[in-house]
Structure 1
Amino acid sequence: MRLVIAECEVDYVGRLTAHLPSARRLLLIKADGSVLVHSDGGSYKPLNWMSPPCWLTEEPAAAGSTAEGADPGALWVVTNKAGEQLRIRITEIEHDSSHQLGVDPGLVKDGVEAHLQELLAEHVETLGIGFTLVRREYMTAIGPVDLLCRDPAGAAVAVEIKRRGEIDGVEQLTRYLDLLNRDPLLSPVSGVFAAQQIKPQARTLATDRGIRCVTLDYDALRGADDTAFRLF
């Protein structure tokens, strides 16, 4: 990631046009190609940005195009595949540094998905009568499956647990199933997508791929009430 603090003005040219007058701002150039323009207040959101795929080029600024009395500086042009441009005219750079952040593990919401996994492992019969737990966090080459279970017939079942079930979670479970079904000691392996709330698009995709969806009641898992789980 590159961090630049600079006096600059910004124009967005595309389906809409927008202009930011000259001021000191933070410019973020991320490894994924995105470019974001931030101020020091008002909101956590950038004032303007360009999402990837996009390309940044630096061009000499035309004489007289910067603020009166300032020396011409660099003109950064960020262009996306639709031809839209974020044009950042820099008058003065106060700070410019690059940093390697590495691969981010993603946001883990403490006490939600982890607790759901722990509770469902303790009450694996929620998935169906006769289900048994093999182990939690069953490791694969691309990461751990939340639960590996056996159904009443003894067949392996991979369970992916989410607080909110979305398409990404179904895709994640699909990748796990593809790997697990290559193991002759486990195959055939079926899948269960379990979440407190499952979006309709995710449910449709899961059903199309032969993955069963289970809607979880967190309070019922904790024993707070006797509400039965809904199996779909």
Structure 2
Amino acid sequence: MRLVIATCSVDYDGRLSAHLPLATRLLMVKADGSVLVHSDGGSYKPLNWMSPPCAMVEVSPEEHEAADGVTAVWQVQHAKSEDRLRVLIHEVLHDSAHQLGVDPGLIKDGVEAHLQKLLAEHIHTLGEGWTLVRREYMTAIGPVDILCRDAGGSAVAVEIKRRGDIDGVEQLTRYLELMNRDPHLAPVTGIFAAQEIKPQARTLATDRGIRCVTLDYDALRGIDDTTTRLF
């Protein structure tokens, strides 16, 4: 991973256009090829980014850019779309590279992991005629908990949490964005499943076309009435 703290401006051009004016930011280039632009705020979410597969080259600024103080330009092009990211660097305050090695992945707590296993084993509780494709379906940014197909054969990605909040909805949104770029899967819809879903998370999910499902852990384990497993 390469970490660069620089005074820069950023232009994105693709499905929409966006501009970040000159400011000091953290630029991250990961081993998978992704490029992320962070500010010193806004929690984990980058201001802008380019997901893999993409390619980045560093070039000299154009004459008028150099006259404005630009010392280097990062050009990032997505391999499967017309999405482009252009970072105009004025001053580099820090530049370092680190080998992080292979990450073992997120280890879920016992309840969350068990919920995933139970729901995968009883995928029909999401709908009659539904079938499991696989658990931990890998995307370029990590695994979505469950990939299944509804009665009509359409792909559905399910993200499972013990307590569902906005961060979980954002996570599923990113998975869906990537999965819908795969012509073998698209269109892919989403289900956000949890034992408890916060009202703000439910509102955000509904706005993004994601179905919310409240999981009854005891019912899935067969302790309660098996005819009312999900709501």
Please tell me whether the aligned partners of residues 66 and 89 of structure 1 are also in contact (alpha carbons under 8 angstroms).
Answer: no
In 2, the alpha carbon distance for the partners of 1:44 and 1:74 equals 26
Mapped contact 2:38–2:47 kept (Cα < 8 A): yes
Unaligned ranges ≥5, structure 2: 124-131, 138-144, 154-214
Q: What's the TM-score, normalizing by structure 1?
A: 0.53
Residue 15 of structure 1: CA displacement?
2.4
Give the CA deviation at 1:92. 0.7
Q: 1:24 to 1:171 in 2, by over 3 A?
A: same
Q: CA deviation at 1:171?
A: 2.6
The structure that has the greater radius of gyration is 1
Are the counterparts in 2 of residues 75 and 88 from structure 1 also a CA contact under 8 Å? yes
Do structure 1's residue 77 and structure 2's residue 75 form an aligned pair? yes
Alpha-carbon distance between aligned partners in 2 of 1:219 and 1:67, rounded to the nearest angstrom: 67
1:6 aligns with 6
Q: Is 1:96 the counterpart of 2:59 in the alignment?
A: no
Structure 1 residue runs of 4 or more that deviate by more than 6 Å after TM superposition: none
Instruction: Name 2:55's counterpart in structure 1.
Output: 55
Aligned equivalents of 1:216 and 1:84: distance in 2?
Answer: 42
Q: Which runs of 5+ in 1 are unaligned?
A: 117-159, 175-197, 206-214
Q: 1:165 to 1:61 in 2, by over 3 A?
A: farther
Distance change (3 Å), C-alpha of 1:85 and 1:111? same
Structure 1 residues 70-114: Cα deviation after superposition (integer angstroms, max 9, x where no partner): 3x3110000012132100010111111111111212212223145
Distance 2:74 2:147 in 1: 42
TM-score, normalising length from structure 2?
A: 0.53
Percent identity over the alignment? 52
What does residue 171 of structure 2 align with? none
TM-aligned CA deviation for residue 172 of structure 1: 4.8
Q: Distance in 2 between matches of 1:96 and 1:163?
A: 46
Q: Which amino acid aligns with 2:117?
A: K
Q: Give aligned pairs, total.
A: 150
Aligned residue runs from structure 1 range 109-188, under 5 A: 109-113=108-112, 116=114, 162=117, 165=120, 170-172=133-135
Cα deviation for residue 202 of structure 1 reads 4.7
Superposed CA offset, 1:194-213 (max 9, x none): xxxx97935668xxxxxxxx
CA distance in 1, matches of 2:60, 2:73: 6
